[in-house]
Structure 1
Amino acid sequence: MSNIEDIVDSLENKISKLLHKLELLKHANLKLNEELEVSKRLNSSRKTEISAWEEKYEALKMANSILGSDDNKRETKLKINALIRDIDHCIAQLSD
C-alpha cells in the first residue's frame, strides 16, 4: 500500500511542477506578445518616418535640379512634363 501512495504522491508532485511551469510559460508568452506588439508599432512608426524622409529627399532633389544641379535634371524634366500633361488633361475636362 505504501508503494501506491508513494507513486500517487510522486505524480501529484510532478503535476504540480508541470502546472507551475505552465503558468510561467503563459506569463512569458504574454510578455513576449506584448513586446511583439510594441515592436510592431515601433516598426510601423519608423516606416512612416522613413516614407516622410524619402518624400523630403525627393523634393530636395527636385529643388536642386531646378536650381541648376546637373545630377537630376532628367528626372525633373520628366516630372515637369508629367505635371504639364496632368494640367492639360484637367483643362480639357473643364472645357468639355
Structure 2
Amino acid sequence: MSNTIEAIHLLENKLKNLISNYEFLKKENEILLQNTTKLQHQLIKREQLFAEQKKQYDLLKIAKTIEGSGEDTKDTKLKINTLIREIDKCIIQLNE
C-alpha cells in the first residue's frame, strides 16, 4: 500500500510540474504572439514609409530631369510616356 501511495504522490508532483510548465509556456506564447503582432505593425509602417520616400525620390528625379540637369532623361521620358498612355486609356474609358 505504501508503494501505491508513493506512486500517487509522485504522479501528483509530476502532474503539478507539467501543469506549471504548461501555464508558463502558455504565457510565454502569448507574449511572443504580442511581440510578433507589434513587429508586423512596425514592418508595415516601415514599408509604407519606404514606398512614400521612393515615390518622392522618383518625383524629385523627374523634376530634376525636367529642370535640365541632364541626368536620367531617358527614365523621365519613359515615365512621361507611361503617364500619357495611362491618361489616354482613361480618356478612352470615359468616352465609352
Please state which band the TM-score falls in when normalised by the shorter chain: 0.7 to 0.9
User: Please, what TM-score do these two structures have when normalized by structure 1?
Assistant: 0.86
Aligned position for 1:56:
56
Does residue 68 (structure 1) correspond to residue 71 (structure 2)? The answer is no
How big is the shift at 1:69? 1.8
Q: Please, which moves more after superposition, 53-62 or 72-81? A: 72-81
Classify 1:2/1:59 alpha carbon distance in 2 versus 1 (closer, same or farther; 3 Å): same
- Unpaired stretches in structure 2, ≥5 consecutive residues: none
Aligned to 1:44: 44
- Any unmatched runs of 5+ in structure 1? none
1:15/1:46 Cα in 2 relative to 1: closer, same or farther (>3 Å)? same
Two-structure CA RMSD over aligned residues (Å): 2.1
- Please give the alpha-carbon distance, in whole angstroms, between the structure 2 residues aligned to 1:91 and 1:67: 28
Alignment of 1:3 with 2:12, yes or no, is no
Tell me the distance in 1 between the aligned counterparts of 2:92 and 2:50.
37
1:25 aligned partner:
25
AA aligned to 2:45 is: S
Q: How big is the shift at 1:71?
A: 1.9
SS of match in other structure, 1:71: coil
Aligned residues: 96
Q: TM-score, normalised by structure 2?
A: 0.86
